[in-house]
Amino acid sequence: MRTGHLLAIAACGLAAGAVVLVLELTSDHADPRMLWVFAGPLIGLNFIATGLYASRRRPESRIGVLMVLLGFAWFALRLEASNSAVVHTAGEVLGGLFGGVFLHLGLSFPTGRLRDGLDRAIVAVGYVVFVLALVPMRLFATSADLECTDCPENLLLVERDPSLADAAETGGAVALAVLFAVVLARALKHWRDAGVFERVQLTPVYVCSLLTFLLVTADLAGLDGAWWAAVGSTALLPFAYLWGLLRSHVVHLDAQLRDRLEELRASRARLVEAGDAERRRLERDLHDGAQSRLVAVSLLLRNARRRTDDDELGAMLDRALDELGRGIDELRELAHGIHPAVLTDHGLEPALQALVSRTPVPVSVEADAGERLPPPVESAAYFVVSEALTNVAKYARASQAAVTVRREDGHLTVAVSDDGVGGADVSRGSGLRGLADRVAALDGRLSLESPPGRGTRLVARIPVRPPTR
């Protein structure tokens, strides 16, 4: 709704509330009068104010409109406080609209839209039952028969017949009881079918609404005190609906946050996979392209060296062969650092054995990963060990290190420990930060224990299955 519409509705609500206030103040039969002076206008205004707030905050929902209509229906109900027979009788009849809108609001919460044809049929029957449930007995009972000696003349009276009036009252009570049972069963089904978070918002609304409905039915059945209990429950209804709407808004925000978090996780995982794919491509290009060409050049130089008898030229060719050999070794190490082919072709354990064989510090390996793991998991585990062993060789001043790989409880646990000087810190090294990001992208966790002088232990725990996309 536009701001102008909201202000117009608010003005109409205040005017209707003022009319009801005057009726309650001047009524000869509203008892106790002072209670109705407050409750009559206040309950209706609460519904209207809450409905306008809901329309402002959740314009896509019709709940706000229904709550505003419920407030005006309450004012129509309180027309029965009038001393005028016409206005009093209109209030007796039109007041039933409050029950119909109330039922419509409850079954359609939190969207304001009824779910299916059965709900629409129940609400349609509800409008008829609430409006007409009390009319038949008024056809055969005077105001005094209805225990309101000070009320204006009953204009609906056709012929006084207490027996027919009692029968009509009983029929109305039965109709409301049957309708209550149907609504209760339907509400329970909606609640069971709802998700966990949706139940959180439905529970206060359903409890308060069904309690009010039950108390109204009990009052019509003749239970003493049920009417005032129903009025008290009705006064709490706007707050129950507002609470439900606010919780609905929180649930909506929570769902959006979860969706965005899941998309963030998926995008991080896609970035890791794309990076691994690019690493594999670069490794293949280096191996099949530059490295193969350099090896071919090395063979040509060796062949030339065997054929030359010139000592000076031979010495130059030997130096060239040495330099070329070191270049090939460095290129091979670079290719391994980008992405080792043995990891792609043979799996994690052989790749770790090859990695350990090139480490200058003695390293023991205990690997029990079982069958092949998903490629992103294997890559993450390999680079955790690679980075850890690189740090051991460069900074730890360790005499030995150990690598442990275990697969259990749907997770792969990779641990690298050494007996070096310790003092490592994830926040101070870009390599370890990159590892933490890589592991986190797979919903894993990286932890580091490195007390000064007591060695270092790096542990990565990675779900074996990739995160949900």
pLDDT digits (tens, 9 = 90+) for 267-304: 666 666 666 666 666 666 565 666 676 777 778 778 78
Q: How far is CA 205 from the centre of its chain?
A: 20
Confidence of residue 23 (pLDDT cuts 50, 70, 90): very high
Return the CATH architecture of domain 3-259: Up-down Bundle (1.20)
Rounded CA gap, 177 and 220, in Å? 10
Mean pLDDT computed over 400-407: 92
Bridge partners for 460 per DSSP: 414, 446
Residue 468's pLDDT is 43
Residue 280's pLDDT is 62
Residue 71's pLDDT is 92
Residue 231: closest CA among 39, 31, 72, 75: 39
Answer yes or no: is pLDDT of 393 > 50: yes
Phi, psi dihedral angles at 437 (to 5 degrees): -65, -40
Residue 373's pLDDT is 86
Residue 16's pLDDT is 94
pLDDT digits (tens, 9 = 90+) for 367-390: 886 678 888 888 888 888 988 898
Residue 336's pLDDT is 56
Question: Can 3-259 and 343-463 be said to share one CATH topology?
Answer: no
Mean pLDDT computed over 95-110: 89
Query: What's the one-letter identity of residue 153?
Result: E
pLDDT digits (tens, 9 = 90+) for 196-216: 777 777 888 888 888 888 888
Rounded CA gap, 246 and 194, in Å? 17
Confidence of residue 432 (pLDDT cuts 50, 70, 90): confident
Q: At which residue do the structure tokens 């027309």 appear?
A: 79
The whole-chain average pLDDT of the chain stands at: 83
Residue 203's pLDDT is 81
Residue 184: closest CA among 133, 226, 244, 126: 126
* Domain coordinates in residue numbering, the chain: 3-259, 343-463
Phi, psi dihedral angles at 421 (to 5 degrees): -80, -10
**pLDDT above 90 coverage of the chain, percent:** 25
Rounded CA gap, 327 and 330, in Å? 5
Rounded CA gap, 60 and 349, in Å? 56
Of 469 and 45, the one with more pLDDT: 45
- The count of other CB atoms within 10 Å of the CB of residue 124 is 14
User: Is CATH 3.30.565.10 correct for 343-463?
Assistant: yes
Q: Please work out, in degrees rounded to the nearest 5, the angle formed at the alpha carbon of residue 18 by the alpha carbons of 142 and 243.
A: 95
3-state secondary structure of 221: coil
- Asked if 380 contacts 462 with a C-beta cutoff of 8 angstroms, the reply is yes
pTM value is 0.58
Answer yes or no: is pLDDT of 100 > 80: yes
Answer yes or no: is pLDDT of 13 > 50: yes
Answer yes or no: is pLDDT of 408 > 80: yes
Residue 466's pLDDT is 47
